[in-house]
Structure 1
Amino acid sequence: MTTLTKESGAPTSADAGAFLSVRDLRVQFRTEDGIVKAVDGLSFDLERGRTLGIVGESGSGKSVTNLTILGLHNPQFATIDGEIVLDGQELITARERELEKLRGNKMAMIFQDPLTALSPYYTVGRQLSEPFMKHKGASKKEARDRAIEMLTKVGIPQPKVRFDDYPHQFSGGMRQRAMIAMALMCDPDLLIADEPTTALDVTVQAQILDLLKDLQQEFGSAIVFITHDLGVISKMADDLLVMYAGRAVERGSVKEVLGAPRHPYTWGLLSSMPRLNSDIHQALTPIPGSPPSLLNPPSGCPFHPRCAFRSEVPGTLCTDSRPPLGEGRAAACHLTAEQKQSIFIDKIQPRLR
Structure 2
Amino acid sequence: MTTLTKTEGAGSAPTGSDPFLSVRDLYVRFSTEDGTVKAVDGLSFDLERGRTLGIVGESGSGKSVTNLTVLGLHNPKTTQIAGEIVLDGQELIGARERTLETLRGNKMAMIFQDPLTALSPYYTVGRQIAEPYRKHRGVSRREAHLRAVEMLAKVGIPQPKLRVNDYPHQFSGGMRQRAMIAMALACDPDLLIADEPTTALDVTVQAQILDLLKDLQQEFGSAIVFITHDLGVISTMADDLLVMYAGRAVERGSVGEVLRSPQHPYTWGLLSSMPRLGSDVDKALTPIPGSPPSLLNPPSGCPFHPRCAFPEQVGGGRCATERPALPEGRGAACHLTAEQQRTVFIDQIKPRLG
Shorter-chain TM band: over 0.9
Cα deviation code 1:53-109 (max 9, x no counterpart): 000000000000000000000111100000000000000111000000000000000
The question of 1:5 aligning with 2:10 is answered no
| Structure 2: distance between partners of 1:6 and 1:311 | 34
For residue 226 of structure 2, give the secondary structure of its aligned residue in structure 1.
strand
1:141 Cα deviation after fit: 1.3
The question of 1:262 aligning with 2:263 is answered yes
User: Contact between 2:27 and 2:43, CA under 8 Å: does it hold in 1?
Assistant: yes
1:189 Cα deviation after fit: 0.1
Q: Which amino acid aligns with 1:5?
A: L
User: Contact between 2:109 and 2:192, CA under 8 Å: does it hold in 1?
Assistant: yes
Q: Scaled by the length of structure 1, what TM-score is found? A: 0.97
- CA 1:6–1:94: 2 relative to 1, 3 Å: farther
Q: Which amino acid aligns with 2:2?
A: T
1:16 Cα deviation after fit: 4.7
Q: Which amino acid aligns with 1:224?
A: V
1:5 Cα deviation after fit: 3.1
For residue 92 of structure 1, give the secondary structure of its aligned residue in structure 2.
coil
Q: Which amino acid aligns with 1:34?
A: G
Q: How does 1:132-211 map to 2 (within 5 A)?
A: 132-211=133-212
Q: How many equivalent pairs are there?
A: 347
| Structure 1: distance between partners of 2:293 and 2:124 | 42
Q: How does 1:58-77 map to 2 (within 5 A)?
A: 58-77=59-78
- Residue 109 of structure 2 is matched in structure 1 by 108
- Residue 10 of structure 1 is matched in structure 2 by none
| Structure 2: distance between partners of 1:310 and 1:233 | 29
1:116 Cα deviation after fit: 0.6
The question of 1:123 aligning with 2:128 is answered no
1:277 Cα deviation after fit: 1.1
1:48 Cα deviation after fit: 0.2
Q: Which amino acid aligns with 2:317?
A: T
User: Contact between 1:16 and 1:88, CA under 8 Å: does it hold in 2?
Assistant: no
- Residue 314 of structure 1 is matched in structure 2 by 315
1:28 Cα deviation after fit: 0.3
For residue 108 of structure 1, give the secondary structure of its aligned residue in structure 2.
strand
| Structure 2: distance between partners of 1:168 and 1:142 | 25
Q: Which amino acid aligns with 2:111?
A: I
For residue 338 of structure 1, give the secondary structure of its aligned residue in structure 2.
helix
User: Contact between 2:311 and 2:317, CA under 8 Å: does it hold in 1?
Assistant: no
For residue 148 of structure 2, give the secondary structure of its aligned residue in structure 1.
helix
For residue 18 of structure 2, give the secondary structure of its aligned residue in structure 1.
coil
Q: Which amino acid aligns with 2:65?
A: V
User: Please, what is the CA RMSD of the aligned residues?
Assistant: 1.1
- Residue 30 of structure 1 is matched in structure 2 by 31
Q: Which amino acid aligns with 1:128?
A: I
- Residue 305 of structure 2 is matched in structure 1 by 304
| Structure 2: distance between partners of 1:80 and 1:295 | 16
| Structure 1: distance between partners of 2:303 and 2:212 | 37
Unaligned regions of 5+ residues in structure 2, if any? 7-12
Q: Scaled by the length of structure 2, what TM-score is found? A: 0.97
| Structure 1: distance between partners of 2:22 and 2:203 | 33
The question of 1:240 aligning with 2:241 is answered yes
The question of 1:351 aligning with 2:352 is answered yes
The question of 1:213 aligning with 2:218 is answered no
Q: Which amino acid aligns with 2:194?
A: A
For residue 24 of structure 1, give the secondary structure of its aligned residue in structure 2.
strand
Cα deviation code 1:231-277 (max 9, x no counterpart): 00000000000000000000000000000000000000000001111
Q: Percent same amino acid among aligned pairs?
A: 80
- Residue 40 of structure 1 is matched in structure 2 by 41
The question of 1:332 aligning with 2:339 is answered no
- Stretches of 4+ aligned residues off by more than 4 angstroms: 13-16
Q: Which amino acid aligns with 1:129?
A: A
Q: Which amino acid aligns with 1:238?
A: D
User: Contact between 1:125 and 1:165, CA under 8 Å: does it hold in 2?
Assistant: yes
| Structure 2: distance between partners of 1:341 and 1:19 | 33
User: Contact between 1:6 and 1:82, CA under 8 Å: does it hold in 2?
Assistant: no
